[in-house]
Amino acid sequence: MTQTYDPRAAEPVGSGVTRLDQVVIRIAGDSGDGMQLAGDQFTAEAAAFGNDLATQPSFPAEIRAPQGTLHGVSSFQIQIADFDVLTAGDRPDVLVAMNPAALRANVGDLPRGGILIVNTDEFTKRNLAKAGYDHNPLETADFEDFQVHEIAMATLTAGAVESVGLGRKDAERSKNMFALGVLSWMYGRPLAAIEEFLEQKFAKRPQIAKANILALRAGHNYGETTESFATSFEVAPAALPAGTYRQVTGNTALSYGLLAVAQTSGMEVFLGSYPITPASDILHELSGHKHHGVVTFQAEDEIAAVGAALGASYGGALGVTSTSGPGLALKSEAIGLAVMTELPLLVINVQRGGPSTGLPTKTEQADLLQARFGRNGESPVPVIAPQSPADCFEAALEAARIAITYRTPVILLSDGAIANGSEPWRIPSVAALPPIDPDFAVAPEGESAAGTHQPYARDAETLVRSWAIPGAAGLEHRIGGLEKENGSGNISYTPENHELMTRVRAAKVEGIPVPALEVDDPSDGAEVLLLGWGSSYGPIGEAVRRARLAGYQVARAHLRHLNPLPSNLGEVLGRYRRVLVPEMNLGQLSLLLKAQYDADIQPITKVSGVAFRSDELHEALLAEFAGTLAAHEREKTPASTAAVVVR
């Protein structure tokens, strides 16, 4: 499917058109400037054209930060390519900056020679000051290395939409569409689909629709008619596996996975949730799908959200709760109850920067140990992580399957990058999805001497307990958080019983079969393995491609199951001289691996709230081959007081 990877390959095709195999575009502006909308539309365009792509939005934490300030900058990045891209790209090749703050916040990522398009109307003295500039940077030598296009977008937009008769302020609001028009021209994209979208979106306000369309066209015409751009570009469609595709974000794919569970299990899906960034979109999405057998409950707090989900599970529904790190902390006790009562429960944690409130809109993978161990007592819980936005669908199905089949809480660890990022998704056929069987007890199981049902009678092989739900006559029983007597489920404090039950609960989770870990090593002779989990899948993949192109032999593997770990993991790790583990935390998976396996584990860590860039990982690989990686990692922790404020 993929042919080459050479990010800078550019060949001219005919007059004024240059062919690229990929490009990364970032548009940035004030959070009220409509950057996400423009980005979404460019994405839809690229997807419809057949490019492979990946996107990554970046939101300010404040909803309405003061206009024109660095706090208020919102941006959207997309990589489009004629091959299968894995990330939204490290650095933009093209940066659109709608104001000085957006320029300042983003220009550091633009490589020398990159294309910079700025909306000069906003470059007033006042706005420059708000962004912390004491002069106009565009006039300095610093910017000579970029291909700068200064466009008075607000003025041009106002002129273009004059006929609509809006006030200047409202008229200028369409400048995001002007910018989108310029980009559409640069990459040879037709406008029809966007125009159709705008007409639908503003169906009730035809004036606004008109203004947006005029601005879009004006931007397109600007590219075509001015001499400003020497060339436009062409990125050919990618050769993706055959199928029907759509664009999807991680939170949406995850929600769809839950809809599919309702269908394949025949169980009602009950989502209990409390609003929290960046997980709320799951609640929003599912609340609109009541006709698919999903009920949503916006609870009074995180604890009520998980409690209600567990209550629904007790009644034979699949209880699901969605949250982010701080919320997971609040849910710990209830998850422990699900461990003790051995009821299905799906806990979705869309990780963000922590500890405490941390970085609500930024990404991190630092809840792995919390997911594995963040409860009192011996409290084993299966943990699963999706590796990309579209993969959230499969991950949700897999997590639900384990929860239902093994009567256990399961924690699904998504993160901010996956949740809001998007990519094309090959839509599965619902009819082909495997069924999930809740296998409710209908007659007494493990009958006691008195002939009564024993709720903790287990399957001899899987140790899964019998599950009778209210309404099943003759199977009435009581369960709860106190230690259960083996079999009967009555309260038991005896030492032997607690010893037994603790070990049985652990063995049940440990024994859940998960697929063997697959290793990708075309050379078959690599000595270094790059092992990741979760959203670092994309950057790891791109870094490995690059290293291989440069002639290095590198193996890679990615963990979906973080508990239990694949049974061949120890054997895989043992095959390599060194195992590099990139994680957006301070080495949590590394810690687990070191405790469990005899292998040379070297973490590659990052905790900036921003996902790994593939070039960072590529450099880490080069450092490994140069023998300096371990030292680099150590140096990340400030060794002297130089980095901190001294009291």
Residues 242-261 close enough to bind another protein by CB under 8 A: 242-247, 256, 259-260
- Answer for the pair 171, 161: CB distance below 8 angstroms, yes or no: yes
- Answer for the pair 360, 277: CB distance below 8 angstroms, yes or no: yes
Size of the site for another protein (CB under 8 A): 76
388 token code pair: 């990309």
- Answer for which of 290, 503, 577, 636 binds another protein (CB under 8 A) is 290
Q: What are all long-range contacts of 447-456, with beta carbons under 8 Å and residues at least 24 apart?
A: 448/487, 448/488, 452/477, 453/477, 454/487, 454/488, 454/489, 455/479, 455/488, 455/489, 456/342, 456/484, 456/485, 456/486, 456/487, 456/488, 456/489
Nearest by Cα to 148 from 161, 159, 157, 139: 139
- DSSP H or E segment with residue 632: helix 629-635
443 is an interface residue for another protein by CB under 8 A: no
Draw the binding track, 212-241, toward another protein (x: CB under 8 A; -: no contact). Answer: ---------------------------xxx
Q: Which is nearer to another protein, 8 or 478 (CB)?
A: 478
309 is an interface residue for another protein by CB under 8 A: yes
Q: Which is nearer to another protein, 498 or 594 (CB)?
A: 498
457 is an interface residue for another protein by CB under 8 A: no
450 is an interface residue for another protein by CB under 8 A: yes
473 is an interface residue for another protein by CB under 8 A: yes
Region near another protein per CB under 8 A, out of 328-336, 355-363, 492-500, 563-571: 328-336
- What is the CB-side half-sphere exposure of residue 360 using CA atoms within 13 A? 14
Q: How many CB atoms lie within 10 A of CB 74?
A: 24
Write down the least CB distance from residue 290 to another protein, Å.
4
- Backbone dihedral angles phi then psi of residue 258, each to the nearest 5 degrees: -70, -35
Draw the binding track, 578-617, toward another protein (x: CB under 8 A; -: no contact). Answer: ----------------------------------------
346 is an interface residue for another protein by CB under 8 A: no
263 is an interface residue for another protein by CB under 8 A: yes
Nearest by Cα to 422 from 573, 270, 251, 168: 251
481 is an interface residue for another protein by CB under 8 A: yes
In sequence order, what are the residues at sequence separation of 6 or more whose Cβ sits closer than 8 angstroms to the Cβ of residue 492? 483, 484, 485, 486, 498
- Answer for which of 214, 475, 579, 621 binds another protein (CB under 8 A) is 475
430 is an interface residue for another protein by CB under 8 A: yes
400 is an interface residue for another protein by CB under 8 A: no
8-state DSSP, 514: -
Q: Which is nearer to another protein, 300 or 461 (CB)?
A: 300
Distance (Å, rounded) from C-alpha 581 to C-alpha 593? 10
490 is an interface residue for another protein by CB under 8 A: yes
Write down the least CB distance from residue 281 to another protein, Å.
9
Region near another protein per CB under 8 A, out of 130-138, 170-178, 467-475, 527-535: 467-475
- Answer for which of 60, 250, 272, 409 binds another protein (CB under 8 A) is 272
188 is an interface residue for another protein by CB under 8 A: no
- Which residue type does 281 have? D
389 token code pair: 């936005």
477 is an interface residue for another protein by CB under 8 A: yes
479 is an interface residue for another protein by CB under 8 A: yes
307 is an interface residue for another protein by CB under 8 A: yes
Write down the least CB distance from residue 337 to another protein, Å.
5
Q: Which is nearer to another protein, 128 or 396 (CB)?
A: 396
- Backbone dihedral angles phi then psi of residue 455, each to the nearest 5 degrees: -65, -20
334 is an interface residue for another protein by CB under 8 A: yes
355 is an interface residue for another protein by CB under 8 A: no
Full DSSP string of 564-619: SPPTTHHHHHHTSSEEEEEESSSSHHHHHHHHH--S-EEEEE--SSSPPPHHHHHH
Q: Which is nearer to another protein, 85 or 299 (CB)?
A: 299
Handedness of CA 159, 160, 166, 170 (dihedral sign): negative
Region near another protein per CB under 8 A, out of 26-34, 72-80, 296-304, 458-466: 296-304
Q: Which is nearer to another protein, 303 or 620 (CB)?
A: 303
547 is an interface residue for another protein by CB under 8 A: no
Binders of another protein among 46-65, rule CB under 8 A? 47-48, 50
Q: What is the CA radius of gyration of the chain?
A: 27
632 is an interface residue for another protein by CB under 8 A: no
Q: Give the C-alpha distances (Å, rounded to integers) separating 318 from 190, 270, 334, 412.
A: 45, 6, 15, 15
2 is an interface residue for another protein by CB under 8 A: no
Nearest by Cα to 195 from 205, 181, 182, 185: 181
Strand, helix or coil at 81?
Answer: strand
Binders of another protein among 106-145, rule CB under 8 A? none
270 is an interface residue for another protein by CB under 8 A: yes
Convert 127-145 to b/e letters by CB count within 10 Å (16 or more is b): bbebbebeeebbeeeebee
Q: Which is nearer to another protein, 236 or 427 (CB)?
A: 427
